[in-house]
Protein backbone atom coordinates (compact mmCIF):
# COMPACT_ATOMS: atom_id res chain seq x y z
CA UNK A 1 0.00 0.00 0.00
CA UNK A 2 2.78 2.45 0.94
CA UNK A 3 4.54 1.75 -2.35
CA UNK A 4 1.39 2.56 -4.35
CA UNK A 5 0.84 5.80 -2.41
CA UNK A 6 4.46 6.79 -3.04
CA UNK A 7 4.07 6.05 -6.75
CA UNK A 8 0.89 8.11 -6.87
CA UNK A 9 2.65 10.93 -5.03
CA UNK A 10 5.39 11.06 -7.66
CA UNK A 11 2.73 11.05 -10.40
CA UNK A 12 0.98 14.00 -8.72
CA UNK A 13 4.24 15.92 -8.31
CA UNK A 14 5.09 15.23 -11.95
CA UNK A 15 1.79 16.74 -13.08
CA UNK A 16 2.67 20.07 -11.43
CA UNK A 17 6.38 20.47 -12.23
CA UNK A 18 7.06 22.43 -15.45
CA UNK A 19 7.62 20.21 -18.47
CA UNK A 20 7.07 16.97 -16.55
CA UNK A 21 4.11 14.71 -17.27
CA UNK A 22 2.35 12.85 -14.48
CA UNK A 23 1.18 10.32 -17.06
CA UNK A 24 4.79 9.76 -18.07
CA UNK A 25 5.77 9.07 -14.46
CA UNK A 26 2.85 6.60 -14.25
CA UNK A 27 4.00 4.93 -17.47
CA UNK A 28 7.57 4.78 -16.17
CA UNK A 29 6.30 2.98 -13.04
CA UNK A 30 4.18 0.63 -15.21
CA UNK A 31 0.91 1.63 -13.49
CA UNK A 32 -0.51 3.71 -16.35
CA UNK A 33 -2.78 0.98 -17.78
CA UNK A 34 -4.29 0.39 -14.31
CA UNK A 35 -5.21 4.04 -13.92
CA UNK A 36 -6.73 4.32 -17.40
CA UNK A 37 -8.74 1.12 -16.94
CA UNK A 38 -10.13 2.49 -13.67
CA UNK A 39 -11.02 5.81 -15.33
CA UNK A 40 -12.92 3.94 -18.04
CA UNK A 41 -14.81 2.03 -15.33
CA UNK A 42 -15.62 5.23 -13.43
CA UNK A 43 -18.98 5.90 -15.13
CA UNK A 44 -20.09 2.24 -14.99
CA UNK A 45 -18.97 1.10 -11.55
CA UNK A 46 -17.61 4.17 -9.73
CA UNK A 47 -17.15 2.53 -6.32
CA UNK A 48 -15.27 -0.44 -7.77
CA UNK A 49 -13.15 1.89 -9.92
CA UNK A 50 -12.17 4.09 -6.97
CA UNK A 51 -11.44 1.12 -4.69
CA UNK A 52 -9.14 -0.41 -7.31
CA UNK A 53 -6.85 2.64 -7.38
CA UNK A 54 -7.59 4.49 -4.13
CA UNK A 55 -3.96 4.25 -2.97
CA UNK A 56 -2.78 5.86 -6.21
CA UNK A 57 -5.49 8.55 -5.98
CA UNK A 58 -4.47 9.37 -2.40
CA UNK A 59 -0.85 9.62 -3.52
CA UNK A 60 -1.74 11.78 -6.53
CA UNK A 61 -3.67 14.19 -4.29
CA UNK A 62 -0.73 14.41 -1.91
CA UNK A 63 1.65 14.78 -4.84
CA UNK A 64 -0.27 17.69 -6.33
CA UNK A 65 -0.23 19.43 -2.95
CA UNK A 66 3.48 18.71 -2.52
CA UNK A 67 4.03 19.77 -6.13
CA UNK A 68 2.64 23.23 -5.43
CA UNK A 69 4.95 23.52 -2.41
CA UNK A 70 7.95 22.31 -4.42
CA UNK A 71 7.35 24.75 -7.25
CA UNK A 72 6.68 27.70 -4.96
CA UNK A 73 9.46 27.04 -2.47
CA UNK A 74 11.96 24.16 -2.88
CA UNK A 75 11.89 24.34 -6.68
CA UNK A 76 12.92 28.01 -6.53
CA UNK A 77 16.10 27.06 -4.63
CA UNK A 78 17.22 23.90 -6.50
CA UNK A 79 15.34 23.82 -9.82
CA UNK A 80 18.06 22.09 -11.83
CA UNK A 81 18.79 19.15 -9.46
CA UNK A 82 15.09 18.49 -8.80
CA UNK A 83 14.33 18.55 -12.53
CA UNK A 84 17.18 16.17 -13.35
CA UNK A 85 15.93 13.83 -10.62
CA UNK A 86 12.55 13.62 -12.39
CA UNK A 87 14.28 13.06 -15.72
CA UNK A 88 16.02 10.11 -14.07
CA UNK A 89 12.65 8.74 -12.93
CA UNK A 90 11.41 8.88 -16.51
CA UNK A 91 14.53 7.35 -18.06
CA UNK A 92 14.37 4.51 -15.54
CA UNK A 93 11.10 3.39 -17.12
CA UNK A 94 12.38 3.30 -20.72
CA UNK A 95 13.36 -0.43 -20.70
CA UNK A 96 9.89 -1.50 -19.54
CA UNK A 97 8.09 0.74 -22.05
CA UNK A 98 10.35 -0.61 -24.80
CA UNK A 99 9.27 -4.15 -23.94
CA UNK A 100 5.61 -3.10 -24.15
CA UNK A 101 6.18 -1.26 -27.45
CA UNK A 102 8.21 -4.07 -29.04
CA UNK A 103 6.46 -6.24 -31.61
CA UNK A 104 7.54 -9.72 -32.70
CA UNK A 105 10.10 -8.02 -34.92
CA UNK A 106 11.28 -4.48 -35.56
CA UNK A 107 9.11 -2.89 -38.26
CA UNK A 108 9.38 0.31 -40.26
CA UNK A 109 6.04 1.43 -38.81
CA UNK A 110 7.22 1.08 -35.20
CA UNK A 111 10.39 3.06 -35.94
CA UNK A 112 8.42 5.80 -37.71
CA UNK A 113 5.86 6.12 -34.87
CA UNK A 114 8.59 6.45 -32.25
CA UNK A 115 10.83 8.74 -34.32
CA UNK A 116 8.07 11.09 -35.52
CA UNK A 117 6.67 11.38 -31.98
CA UNK A 118 10.11 12.30 -30.64
CA UNK A 119 10.67 14.94 -33.33
CA UNK A 120 7.23 16.52 -32.87
CA UNK A 121 7.56 16.71 -29.07
CA UNK A 122 11.05 18.22 -29.24
CA UNK A 123 9.76 20.81 -31.74
CA UNK A 124 6.85 21.74 -29.46
CA UNK A 125 9.29 22.36 -26.59
CA UNK A 126 10.82 25.31 -28.43
CA UNK A 127 7.55 27.23 -28.78
CA UNK A 128 7.92 30.42 -26.73
CA UNK A 129 5.31 30.93 -23.99
CA UNK A 130 3.01 33.93 -24.12
CA UNK A 131 2.82 36.61 -21.46
CA UNK A 132 1.39 35.59 -18.09
CA UNK A 133 -2.38 35.98 -17.74
CA UNK A 134 -3.99 37.97 -14.94
CA UNK A 135 -5.95 35.62 -12.66
CA UNK A 136 -8.44 38.40 -11.90
CA UNK A 137 -9.51 38.58 -15.57
CA UNK A 138 -9.76 34.80 -16.10
CA UNK A 139 -13.39 33.67 -16.30
CA UNK A 140 -14.87 30.31 -15.31
CA UNK A 141 -14.50 28.95 -18.84
CA UNK A 142 -10.76 29.67 -18.79
CA UNK A 143 -10.39 28.04 -15.38
CA UNK A 144 -12.16 24.93 -16.77
CA UNK A 145 -9.65 24.88 -19.64
CA UNK A 146 -6.86 25.12 -17.04
CA UNK A 147 -8.33 22.03 -15.31
CA UNK A 148 -8.49 20.16 -18.62
CA UNK A 149 -4.85 20.91 -19.38
CA UNK A 150 -3.84 19.92 -15.84
CA UNK A 151 -5.66 16.59 -16.26
CA UNK A 152 -3.93 16.03 -19.59
CA UNK A 153 -0.63 16.01 -17.71
CA UNK A 154 -1.99 13.19 -15.53
CA UNK A 155 -3.45 10.89 -18.18
CA UNK A 156 -1.53 11.47 -21.43
CA UNK A 157 2.07 10.28 -21.05
CA UNK A 158 4.67 12.86 -21.99
CA UNK A 159 2.24 15.62 -22.86
CA UNK A 160 2.90 18.15 -20.13
CA UNK A 161 -0.23 20.10 -19.31
CA UNK A 162 1.85 22.51 -17.26
CA UNK A 163 4.08 23.19 -20.28
CA UNK A 164 0.98 24.06 -22.35
CA UNK A 165 -0.29 26.24 -19.49
CA UNK A 166 3.04 28.06 -19.52
CA UNK A 167 2.75 28.64 -23.28
CA UNK A 168 -0.73 30.11 -22.79
CA UNK A 169 0.36 32.17 -19.78
CA UNK A 170 -1.94 30.33 -17.32
CA UNK A 171 0.69 28.43 -15.31
CA UNK A 172 1.55 31.21 -12.86
CA UNK A 173 -2.13 32.03 -12.05
CA UNK A 174 -2.70 28.33 -11.29
CA UNK A 175 0.29 28.23 -8.94
CA UNK A 176 -0.81 31.43 -7.22
CA UNK A 177 -4.41 30.27 -6.70
CA UNK A 178 -3.82 28.03 -3.62
CA UNK A 179 -1.54 30.66 -2.08
CA UNK A 180 -4.16 33.38 -2.68
CA UNK A 181 -6.91 31.20 -1.17
CA UNK A 182 -4.91 30.65 2.01
CA UNK A 183 -3.86 34.31 2.27
CA UNK A 184 -7.41 35.65 1.84
CA UNK A 185 -8.82 33.15 4.34
CA UNK A 186 -6.23 34.07 6.98
CA UNK A 187 -6.69 37.81 6.35
CA UNK A 188 -10.46 37.50 6.62
CA UNK A 189 -11.17 38.47 2.99
CA UNK A 190 -13.96 35.91 2.79
CA UNK A 191 -15.71 37.34 -0.28
CA UNK A 192 -12.51 37.15 -2.31
CA UNK A 193 -11.82 33.72 -0.82
CA UNK A 194 -15.28 32.53 -1.92
CA UNK A 195 -14.83 33.89 -5.46
CA UNK A 196 -11.44 32.21 -5.83
CA UNK A 197 -12.85 28.97 -4.39
CA UNK A 198 -15.34 28.92 -7.27
CA UNK A 199 -12.39 29.20 -9.67
CA UNK A 200 -10.91 26.12 -8.03
CA UNK A 201 -14.24 24.28 -8.45
CA UNK A 202 -14.16 24.95 -12.20
CA UNK A 203 -10.56 23.70 -12.36
CA UNK A 204 -11.81 20.48 -10.73
CA UNK A 205 -14.69 20.30 -13.23
CA UNK A 206 -12.21 20.46 -16.11
CA UNK A 207 -10.14 17.69 -14.53
CA UNK A 208 -13.23 15.47 -14.04
CA UNK A 209 -14.50 15.95 -17.62
CA UNK A 210 -11.08 15.11 -19.02
CA UNK A 211 -10.74 12.00 -16.86
CA UNK A 212 -14.08 10.63 -18.05
CA UNK A 213 -13.83 11.44 -21.77
CA UNK A 214 -10.13 10.95 -22.55
CA UNK A 215 -9.85 8.06 -20.06
CA UNK A 216 -12.39 6.04 -22.07
CA UNK A 217 -10.68 6.86 -25.35
CA UNK A 218 -7.23 5.83 -24.09
CA UNK A 219 -8.60 2.61 -22.63
CA UNK A 220 -9.96 1.64 -26.07
CA UNK A 221 -6.60 2.42 -27.67
CA UNK A 222 -4.74 0.36 -25.06
CA UNK A 223 -7.02 -2.62 -25.71
CA UNK A 224 -6.89 -2.55 -29.52
CA UNK A 225 -3.52 -0.95 -30.36
CA UNK A 226 -1.25 -1.54 -27.35
CA UNK A 227 2.04 -1.81 -29.26
CA UNK A 228 1.42 1.34 -31.30
CA UNK A 229 0.38 3.24 -28.20
CA UNK A 230 3.55 2.32 -26.31
CA UNK A 231 5.66 3.12 -29.38
CA UNK A 232 4.13 6.58 -29.15
CA UNK A 233 4.88 6.70 -25.42
CA UNK A 234 8.46 5.56 -26.04
CA UNK A 235 8.97 8.41 -28.50
CA UNK A 236 7.68 10.88 -25.92
CA UNK A 237 9.95 9.44 -23.24
CA UNK A 238 12.98 9.86 -25.51
CA UNK A 239 12.00 13.49 -26.13
CA UNK A 240 11.11 14.27 -22.54
CA UNK A 241 14.62 15.16 -21.22
CA UNK A 242 14.95 17.89 -23.86
CA UNK A 243 11.36 19.06 -23.35
CA UNK A 244 11.74 19.29 -19.59
CA UNK A 245 15.06 21.17 -19.69
CA UNK A 246 13.82 23.64 -22.33
CA UNK A 247 10.57 24.17 -20.42
CA UNK A 248 12.51 24.78 -17.21
CA UNK A 249 14.69 27.35 -18.98
CA UNK A 250 11.63 29.13 -20.41
CA UNK A 251 9.95 29.28 -17.00
CA UNK A 252 12.98 30.54 -15.06
CA UNK A 253 14.27 32.95 -17.71
CA UNK A 254 10.85 34.63 -18.00
CA UNK A 255 10.65 35.38 -14.27
CA UNK A 256 10.04 39.13 -13.97
CA UNK A 257 11.66 39.46 -10.52
CA UNK A 258 14.84 37.40 -10.86
CA UNK A 259 15.26 35.72 -14.25
CA UNK A 260 17.68 32.80 -14.34
CA UNK A 261 19.56 31.42 -17.33
CA UNK A 262 20.13 27.77 -16.44
CA UNK A 263 22.52 27.43 -19.41
CA UNK A 264 24.93 29.88 -17.81
CA UNK A 265 27.21 27.03 -16.74
CA UNK A 266 29.87 29.31 -15.28
CA UNK A 267 27.32 30.43 -12.69
CA UNK A 268 25.23 27.29 -12.20
CA UNK A 269 27.81 24.55 -12.78
CA UNK A 270 27.47 23.21 -9.24
CA UNK A 271 23.69 22.84 -9.64
CA UNK A 272 24.21 20.84 -12.83
CA UNK A 273 26.85 18.74 -11.08
CA UNK A 274 24.48 17.93 -8.20
CA UNK A 275 21.70 17.17 -10.69
CA UNK A 276 23.87 14.84 -12.78
CA UNK A 277 24.92 13.04 -9.59
CA UNK A 278 21.33 12.43 -8.42
CA UNK A 279 19.97 11.67 -11.93
CA UNK A 280 21.11 8.01 -11.62
CA UNK A 281 19.27 7.93 -8.28
CA UNK A 282 16.05 8.71 -10.15
CA UNK A 283 16.79 5.91 -12.63
CA UNK A 284 17.49 3.49 -9.77
CA UNK A 285 14.28 4.41 -7.91
CA UNK A 286 12.20 3.90 -11.07
CA UNK A 287 13.85 0.51 -11.70
CA UNK A 288 13.12 -0.61 -8.13
CA UNK A 289 9.44 0.38 -8.42
CA UNK A 290 9.15 -1.38 -11.77
CA UNK A 291 10.76 -4.57 -10.47
CA UNK A 292 8.29 -4.74 -7.60
CA UNK A 293 5.38 -3.95 -9.94
CA UNK A 294 6.41 -6.73 -12.33
CA UNK A 295 6.72 -9.17 -9.43
CA UNK A 296 3.25 -8.32 -8.13
CA UNK A 297 1.80 -8.72 -11.64
CA UNK A 298 3.32 -12.19 -11.98
CA UNK A 299 2.07 -13.36 -8.58
CA UNK A 300 -1.50 -12.05 -9.02
For the chain, the structural domain boundaries read 2-299
CB within 8 Å of 94: residues ≥ 6 apart: 28, 234, 237, 238
pLDDT of residue 297: 42
Q: How far apart are CA 113 and CA 110, in angstroms?
A: 5
DSSP-assigned states of every residue in 154-178: HHSTT--HHHHHHHHT-HHHHHHHH
Is residue 24 scored above 80 in pLDDT? no
> What average pLDDT does range 18-38 have in this prediction?
75
Number of Cβ atoms within 10 Å of the Cβ of 75: 20
Using a pLDDT cut of 90, give the percent of the chain over it.
5
Half-sphere exposure in the Cβ direction for 157 (13 Å, CA): 31
Q: How far apart are CA 221 and CA 242, in angstroms?
A: 27
Contact 184, 193 (CB under 8 A): yes
Write the pLDDT tens digit of every residue in 136-194: 656 788 888 888 877 876 777 666 666 667 656 677 677 777 778 888 888 888 888 88
Q: How confident is the model at residue 103 (pLDDT cuts 50, 70, 90)?
A: confident
Residue, of 300 and 15, whose pLDDT is higher? 15
Q: How confident is the model at residue 298 (pLDDT cuts 50, 70, 90)?
A: very low
> What average pLDDT does range 66-85 have in this prediction?
78
pLDDT of residue 289: 63
pLDDT of residue 276: 93
Is residue 294 scored above 70 in pLDDT? no
- Identify the sign of the CA torsion 7, 197, 71, 16: positive
> What average pLDDT does range 249-277 have in this prediction?
86
Is residue 253 scored above 90 in pLDDT? no
Mean of all residue pLDDT scores within the chain: 78
pLDDT of residue 161: 66
Q: Which of 81-85, 178-182, 287-291 has the highest mean pLDDT?
A: 81-85
Is residue 274 scored above 90 in pLDDT? yes
CB within 8 Å of 168: residues ≥ 6 apart: 129, 130, 133, 149
> What average pLDDT does range 31-36 have in this prediction?
81
Q: How confident is the model at residue 296 (pLDDT cuts 50, 70, 90)?
A: very low
Q: Find the range with the poorest average confidence among 45-49, 121-125, 152-156, 277-281.
A: 152-156
Q: How confident is the model at residue 242 (pLDDT cuts 50, 70, 90)?
A: confident
Q: Which of 93-97, 111-115, 226-230, 281-285 has the highest mean pLDDT?
A: 111-115
Q: How far apart are CA 62 and CA 50, in angstroms?
A: 16
Is residue 293 scored above 60 in pLDDT? no
> What average pLDDT does range 198-222 have in this prediction?
82
Number of Cβ atoms within 10 Å of the Cβ of 126: 11
Amino acid sequence: MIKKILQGTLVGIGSILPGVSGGMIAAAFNIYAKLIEALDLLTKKPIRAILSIWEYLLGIGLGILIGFIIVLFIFSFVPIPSTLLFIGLILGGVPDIYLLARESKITVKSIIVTLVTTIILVSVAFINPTSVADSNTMNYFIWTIVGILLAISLIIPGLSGTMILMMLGFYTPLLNLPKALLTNFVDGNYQTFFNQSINLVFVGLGVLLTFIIIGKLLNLILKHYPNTFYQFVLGIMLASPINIIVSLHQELSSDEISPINIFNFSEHWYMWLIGLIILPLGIWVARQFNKKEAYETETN
